[in-house]
Structure 1
Amino acid sequence: MSSTYVHYSTPSSLPSDYALLSRFAAARGISEVPEETGAPQSPVDDDAAVQDGQEEATSSLLPKKRPRRSSFPTAYVTPFNPTSMGPLPDRDGHRSGPLLEPTENTPLLAPAVPRIPEAVDEEDLSSESGPVPNILWEETCILAKYTLPVFGTHVLEYSLVIASVVSIGHLSTTALAASTLGSMTASVSGYSIIQGFASTLDTMLPSAWTSTQPQLVGLWAQRMAVVMAACLVPIIMIWFSSEAILLGLKQEPEVAQLAATYLKWAALGLPAYTFNAISRRYFQSQGLFTVPTRVIMCVAPINALLNYLLVWGPKPIRLGFIGAPIATAISFNLIALCSVVYGVWFVPHTAWHPICRRSFTSLGVLVQLGLAGVGQTASEWWSWELVGLAASLLGPTALAAQSVLLVSASTTYQAPFALAVAASVRIGNLLGEENARRAAYVAQASMLMSLLISLVWSTMFMVFRHRWAYLFNDDASVVALVSYILPCVALFQVFDGLGAVISGILRAEGKQFTGALLNLSAYYVVGIPFGIWLAFKRDYELLGLWIGLTLALVYEAVAGAWLCLRTDWNYQVEKVRARLAAEHKAGARHDAELAQAAH
């Protein structure tokens, strides 16, 4: 939400256990889907069409209802046949038809391996079964269980940024200004774009994980890595040309030169930052929410130590100003390395797909959704930079108060943002399992939870409004201004949290374009113009800017909640079916080409 805050977001049995079960994989494979003439077409994504070269798949190709996964997959084991695989099950879950030879892309583990099993998913939610009175409470408990480790990940990752700011802040005022300018430029021109593209995986991965093709999780992650690699080229070029750009924007020469130096060294961690954005979603889509938390928990103390040693340490290793971005870059690379180690040796490879020619196909879908994701994510980041720029024109007291309020709002935002990640994963998993009715309840439960969380933050701000600023600053004028604006910030919390969760629901549905339109219209048509008018034309000053931001979020939250509550979840299931069936046919063609080349 600010230049100082970067938005992002239980391992199963040991690998040896899964090696024991891999001999049964042949009985649960996937064959080529037979062509059907005259079958009705399933709907495709609202905001991104299926990539050219992938035929439209019919909704009848995939089963309407699959048997639920138990806590151990032996109930699904069929007679062992090491050389052949059964075709897709029909709508009743029965398999028939010719057998296919396994290929290098055949998953070692069957879809029967349990994936984020929740006991409540066994409940019959059909209309004939009547109402389920406890379903909102059930989903609230599940979302809370998913949210806590994600929140821990965000807090620990936030510490990486804070450590850099704190270490540089004690060097000099110029160094602090340069690091702030460099961090803001990195957020606007790099991190926000990467996170926007990575949000596409919130649509693709969770539903793939609970489908009959869990290996698509790895395939889509590989494709996103290809798209991200192309995006990094212009970003790095901008960062290495940043001094001329900042001078052109009338920044002070010394500050611009130091900020450009900051960005050049920070670029060493940019590929790892990109990889981490992908790997985090790879783990979270499988329900491994604690993996990123454990990794960052190990790296965060190392990052703090590196910041001290490289900025303030002994002369042989002390680097001064550039030590902070180097420490952050090293930390990002350590997170990436630990994630690879964890994924290779401590997590089952059920979701992995061998790297092959398919990893470079269907990139258009990711680019389309990714650009919309950039509009959804980056538009919010950029709006806060504009508000900060406007606050700087109101004088040093207003700028200091804005910093206090912004850091406070950024910190409290991490809880509903973590809830949004949990909701996105949970809804995507349910769509992959074709459980449309429970997905609707998850959306409702997550919005209610966001309101409860926001009420806690709002109450905290109101109770401590007269002393809150003392946590950051002792200046009496800053404390008074913060106390004056905090009631507006307390109201802001309610709609900020609801807006975060709504964005997560829209990402799960593949409606990044809708989210982008909401954010762009809320901030740039309603909120920021109205706030600037209040601040400079009506003399509301900093309070006017926050009133404008609050109005923007009221509009975004109300319109987004209306869209989410009116969602046709059966239609969303059909969209997932179409996407998975298209991928299945593409995989079958690839396997046939490999077989033909082998002969």
Structure 2
Amino acid sequence: MEDNNELVPLLLVEARSFIAGEDDILPINDFKDFTKQFYVESVKLWYLAAPAIFTSVCQYSLGATTQLLAGHVGTIQLAAVSVENSVIAGFSFGILMGMGSALETLCGQAYGAGQLEMLGIYMQRSWVILLTTAMIMMLVYIFAAPILLLIGQTPAISTAAGSFSIWMIPQLFAYAMVFPLAKFLQAQSKMIAMAVIAAAALILHIIFSWLLMLKLDMGLPGAAVVLNGSWWFIVAAQIVYILSGTCGDAWSGFSWKAFQNLWGFLKLSLASAVMLCLEFWYFNVLILFAGYLKNAEIAVDSISVCMNILGWTVMVAFGFNAAISVRVSNELGAAHPRTAKFSVIVATITSLVFGLLMALVLMVFRRQYPALFANSIQVQQLVYEITPLLALSIVISNVQPTLSGVAIGAGWQAYVAYVNLVSYYVFGIPLGLLLAYIMDMGVKGIWYGMIGGTGVQTCFLFWMIYRTNWNKEASMAEGRIKEWGTDQKINKDKVQVVA
């Protein structure tokens, strides 16, 4: 019986390969073959990546626009928005986005295998877990001011950021709703709809932020009203899109199945959360440590501007992260290991090229762009000095999210969590603290530590992907679909391969 049980997943993979067709990657014997297949895969990747990049940029720009305008309201307002956005909201964003990323593996592989009816169930289970988590995390927002004081922020920054945090509680629950929605739509390649909604949200956000923060002089309260409203607009618009019937069998209505097997689903969500939180919080810790340097407001403002720029450019890589996660999970779910492997190669090369181009543009305009983010001459000068390090960070950080997307698509979250722990917290942060405080390098020392940790993590991911047995991953995807799906056999009419 044990032999038969071990053969079942492999036989099912072979059967699905026959149903869906063999890998569409032809043998690559020379550079001409590679170029041809690279073009074919690039078309598929960009079909997903282009709208995903646009969506990521628009959504990131909501907070970044608020931060930019806060810099023109005043220095303390900029510091308050930066600390709340990076430390308090960043803490919540990391946990909820990480927990929601479990759907990238489950929804993507189920879609590739034709188990469309499970996508809606997965999303509802994720809502239950994330909304419950948000209720617990609301305490962090309520007690943000004393928490910031406890960890060493100045009284002025802590008070302003604490007040802003309480006003931003509605955004916390929007995060809990929007991440499962995004992964549900993403697995089905509904990227265009997400991009249109994000664009509409950004346009409205810019108009109302300018009106309330600057024209009506409402400052931080006005910023909170608009930022909360923008995120809930995205949630409402995506729900309306799904309920309109555009997702076919993937959404069959609300179901009590969403409350089944929550503990097992929670464990998978937590593994995803640990992986991404260790990574996401690493960057937020940098701004926190900057608050301990001499001239804290100048240090926090300058590193916040650089992180803002880095965040915008990394949104391109996050688009590739979403695209390669969909490609890998869909192809593994459809028993196409060779296609999945080649998708990884194409996405990595493309994201590297884009990182180099964006770093070059930044260096060309290094004297001009700091004035867009702050009125303070001291802040502008420090940003100018950090720009070469920022450019290097852009190159590394454009490749790293793509590799993380591979890990999510293949379901390696637990393994990558250990990699992130070692790279960032055993190596990167101690290095940054040593250089910033012991070697008296200030903000530059913190940034060197960030680059070191990200570089080590990227090397680890390269090694993991290089050593991967993609045929084995396809078999494991089949087992994962059986464990988290239904007891139904695979429906031959529903098996789909991403074109």
TM range (shorter): 0.7 to 0.9
Summarize the Cα distance change of 1:449–1:59 in structure 2 as closer, same or farther, 3 Å threshold. Answer: same
Question: Equivalents in 1 of 2:255, 2:226: separation in Å?
Answer: 35
Summarize the Cα distance change of 1:64–1:461 in structure 2 as closer, same or farther, 3 Å threshold. Answer: same
Question: Equivalents in 1 of 2:262, 2:135: separation in Å?
Answer: 17
Q: Could you tell me whether the CA contact under 8 Å between 2:410 and 2:477 is conserved in 1?
A: no
Residues 1:183 and 2:82 aligned together: no
Q: Could you tell me whether the CA contact under 8 Å between 1:59 and 1:578 is conserved in 2?
A: no
Higher helix share: 2
- Corresponding residue for residue 231 of structure 2: 332
- Corresponding residue for residue 390 of structure 1: 289
Deviation, 1:481, is: 4.2
Deviation, 1:452, is: 0.8
Summarize the Cα distance change of 1:585–1:205 in structure 2 as closer, same or farther, 3 Å threshold. Answer: closer
- Corresponding residue for residue 162 of structure 1: 64
- Corresponding residue for residue 192 of structure 2: 290
- Corresponding residue for residue 220 of structure 2: 321
Summarize the Cα distance change of 1:464–1:360 in structure 2 as closer, same or farther, 3 Å threshold. Answer: same
Summarize the Cα distance change of 1:524–1:144 in structure 2 as closer, same or farther, 3 Å threshold. Answer: same
TM-score, normalized by length of structure 2?
A: 0.87
- Corresponding residue for residue 39 of structure 1: 4
Summarize the Cα distance change of 1:241–1:485 in structure 2 as closer, same or farther, 3 Å threshold. Answer: closer
Summarize the Cα distance change of 1:528–1:348 in structure 2 as closer, same or farther, 3 Å threshold. Answer: closer
Summarize the Cα distance change of 1:509–1:542 in structure 2 as closer, same or farther, 3 Å threshold. Answer: same
* Cα deviations by residue, 1:14-44 (Å, 9 ceiling, x for unpaired): xxxxxxxxxxxxxxxxxxxxxx8852337xx
- Corresponding residue for residue 143 of structure 1: 45
The within-5 A match list for 1:565-584 is 565-583=466-484
Letter in 2 for 1:525: V
> Where do 4+ consecutive residues of structure 1 move more than 6 Å?
none
Question: Equivalents in 2 of 1:245, 1:541: separation in Å?
Answer: 24
**Corresponding residue SS for 1:141:** helix
- Corresponding residue for residue 389 of structure 2: 488
- Corresponding residue for residue 55 of structure 2: 153
Choose from 460, 472, 475 the match for 1:559: 460
Deviation, 1:430, is: 0.6
**Corresponding residue SS for 2:5:** coil
Letter in 2 for 1:562: W
Summarize the Cα distance change of 1:468–1:162 in structure 2 as closer, same or farther, 3 Å threshold. Answer: closer
Choose from 316, 321, 333 the match for 1:420: 321
- Corresponding residue for residue 125 of structure 2: 223
Residues 1:352 and 2:251 aligned together: yes
Percent of pairs with identical residues: 24
Choose from 109, 113, 116 the match for 1:214: 116
Residues 1:60 and 2:16 aligned together: no
Q: CA RMSD of the aligned region, Å?
A: 2.9
The within-5 A match list for 1:362-441 is 362-392=261-291, 393-395=293-295, 397-441=298-342
Deviation, 1:149, is: 0.7
Gaps of 5+ in 2: 490-499
Summarize the Cα distance change of 1:332–1:478 in structure 2 as closer, same or farther, 3 Å threshold. Answer: closer
Question: Equivalents in 1 of 2:126, 2:153: separation in Å?
Answer: 35
Question: Equivalents in 1 of 2:393, 2:179: separation in Å?
Answer: 28
Question: Equivalents in 1 of 2:87, 2:299: separation in Å?
Answer: 22
Q: Could you tell me whether the CA contact under 8 Å between 2:24 and 2:339 is conserved in 1?
A: no
Q: Could you tell me whether the CA contact under 8 Å between 1:522 and 1:556 is conserved in 2?
A: yes
Structure label with greater radius of gyration: 1
Summarize the Cα distance change of 1:489–1:241 in structure 2 as closer, same or farther, 3 Å threshold. Answer: closer
The number of equivalent residue pairs is 483
Letter in 1 for 2:479: A
Deviation, 1:228, is: 0.9
* Cα deviations by residue, 1:171-220 (Å, 9 ceiling, x for unpaired): 44444433333323432431111111011111111111121311111111
- Corresponding residue for residue 458 of structure 1: 359
Letter in 2 for 1:335: I
Question: Equivalents in 1 of 2:481, 2:276: separation in Å?
Answer: 26
Residues 1:518 and 2:452 aligned together: no
Deviation, 1:483, is: 4.1
Deviation, 1:225, is: 1.1
Q: Could you tell me whether the CA contact under 8 Å between 1:189 and 1:235 is conserved in 2?
A: no
Question: Equivalents in 2 of 1:139, 1:218: separation in Å?
Answer: 28
Choose from 87, 98, 102 the match for 1:200: 102
Question: Equivalents in 1 of 2:219, 2:376: separation in Å?
Answer: 29
